[in-house]
Amino acid sequence: MKAFILDAYGKGAKLRLADRPDPSLGPRDVLVRVHAAGLNMLDSKIRDGEFKPLLPYKPPLILGHDLAGTVEAVGSAVTHFAPGDAVFARPRDGRIGTLAELIAVDEGDLARKPESLTMVEAAGLPLVALTAWQTLVELGRVQSGAKVLIHAGSGGFGSVAIQLAKHLGATVATTASSGNVDMVRALGADVVIDYRTQRFDALLSDYDVVVCGQDADTLARSLAVLKPGGRLISISGPPTVEFAKAQGLNWLLQQVVRLLSFSIRRKAKAKGVRYDFMFMRADGGQLAQLGALIEAGAIRPVMDRIFPFDQTNEAFAYLETGRAKGKVIVELHPKP
C-alpha cells in the first residue's frame, strides 16, 4: 500500500510517500480502505516531536487520526462489521496511521458512516466530534441553560463544539475574527467576540464551562469568565497528573506533568473553579451516537479545503497557517 511516512521528528518535517506492507489483522481488527483522512493539529504536534514524552510513537511512522472508508476484511472475532460497509473512525492511540491506503482498526473504534455524508465530509468529524462530546457531555456535563464559551469557533473543533453545545441547550459564546462572525453565528453561537478588537474576559462573566485550545495567556484569562464552581477545560494543555496516570506514565514523568500544569491549577483554585485537560480517546459507540445526531441534522460538517493524497505535505502547510475554517481533508479516492 501507499502511505506517507514520518522518518524522524522535526519541526515542519516533510512526510515521504512510500510503499509499506499491507496491515495484518488481529481477531478484533477491521481492515479499512481509506477514502479520505482528516488532518488535525495533533498530527502536526506529533510530527514536530511535542508529544514524544507522552505518546509511545517511534519513527518511521504513519500519521493520521481521522478516516472514512470501506471495510475490506474483518478479523475472526469481529461481529458488527462486514466487507463493503462504509465506516468512519478515530483509531486509538498507538494505532494511528490514516494517511495510508489501508489501515487495521479495532472494531471498538469504528462506527458506520452517516448515510447523509460523503466520505470526505465524514473524514473530518471523528476526532473533533469525539473531543467535543467528551469535553461537553462527559467532563463539562453541559445541560440545558448552561453558559459555555468555546474559543476559536471557526476552527475544526470549535465548529462542531458550538453545534453540540447548542444541541445540549446551552447559551454559547465564541471567539472569532470579524470575517468569521457570520459563519459561527450560523453554527449557533449566541455571542461572538472579535478576538482582534475585543477582550472576551472583559465582556463575558458567570459562565459554567470554558473550552480552550489556545495559548497560555488566553487560557489564564479564561478563568475570569467562569462563575464559582465552573470548569476550565483545555484541549491543548498543559496536561494534568490525572492524564499522566491514565497514559501510564512513570512517576518521574507524572511529576514533570504536575509542574507543567501547576500554575494554571493554582490560579483556578484561587478563583474557585476547576481546571481539566482533555485528551480525547477513541470510542466507536460515542461516534455512533454522534452519527445519529448528524443524521438528525443537529451537527453538520464544516470543511475548508480538500487536498489530493499526493499533496499531503501541502495540506499540512495550509493547516498550520491557522486560517482554516473547519477541517482540512486529504482525499485518497476521489469520485470520478
55-68 tens-digit pLDDT: 879 999 999 999 99
- DSSP string over 20-87: -PPPP--TTEEEEEEEEEEE-HHHHHHHHTTTTTTS---SSEE----EEEEEEEE-TT--S--TT-EE
End-to-end CA distance of the chain: 21
124-153 pLDDT per residue, tens: 999 999 999 999 999 999 999 999 999 999
Q: What are phi and psi of 103, to 5 degrees?
A: -150, 140
Q: Which H helix or E strand runs over 149?
A: strand 147-150
Q: Which domain holds residue 132?
A: 127-277
Q: Which cell goes with 144?
A: 440545558
Residue with cell 479520505: 36
Same domain assignment for residues 250 and 146: yes
**How confident is the model at residue 335, as a pLDDT?**
67
At 162, which CATH number? 3.40.50.720
Instruction: Give a yes or no: residue 82 inside a domain.
Output: yes
The predicted model gives 28-42 an average pLDDT of: 97
* pLDDT band for position 249 (cuts 50, 70, 90): confident
pLDDT in tens, 269-307: 999 999 999 999 999 999 999 999 999 999 999 999 999
Confirm whether 290 is domain-assigned: no
pLDDT digits (tens, 9 = 90+) for 12-29: 999 999 999 999 999 999
Instruction: Give a yes or no: residue 51 inside a domain.
Output: yes
- pLDDT (tens digit, 9 = 90+) per residue, 75-99? 999 999 999 999 999 999 999 999 9
On average, the pLDDT of the chain sits at 96
Is pLDDT above 90 for 334?
A: no
Q: Does some domain include residue 294?
A: no
Pairing of strands 29-39, 86-89: unpaired
Q: Which pLDDT band holds residue 177 (cuts at 50, 70, 90)?
A: very high
Q: Which of 231, 220, 244, 225 is nearest to 139 (CA)?
A: 231
What pLDDT shows up at residue 284? Answer: 98
Q: Do residue 153 and residue 115 come from a single domain?
A: no
Question: What percentage of the chain exceeds 70 in pLDDT?
Answer: 99
Is 60 within a domain? yes
Full DSSP string of 255-294: HHHHHHTHHHHHHHHHHT-EEEE------HHHHHHHHHHH
Query: Contact 277/216 with Cβ under 8 angstroms?
Result: no
The verdict on 190 and 216 lying in the same domain is: yes
Report if residue 150 sits inside a domain: yes
CA distance 167 to 149: 15
Q: Indicate whether 103 belongs to any domain.
A: yes
Question: Residue 54: pLDDT band by 50, 70, 90 thresholds?
Answer: confident
Residue 155 lies in a domain: yes
Number of structural domains found in the chain: 2
**319, 44 contact by CB (below 8 A):** yes
Indicate whether 336 pLDDT > 70.
Answer: no
Same domain, 53 and 178: no
List residues bridging with 2 in a β-sheet. Answer: 19
Tell whether 61 and 119 lie within a shared domain. yes
- Quote the pLDDT of residue 199: 97
Task: Write the pLDDT tens digit of every residue in 191-241.
Answer: 999 999 999 999 999 999 999 999 999 999 999 999 999 999 999 989 999
- Do 88 and 49 reside in the same domain of the chain? yes
- Tell whether 99 and 33 lie within a shared domain: yes
β 207-212/191-194 pair status: unpaired
In CATH, what number is assigned to the domain containing residue 35? 3.90.180.10
Reduce the DSSP state of residue 92 to 3 states and report it.
coil
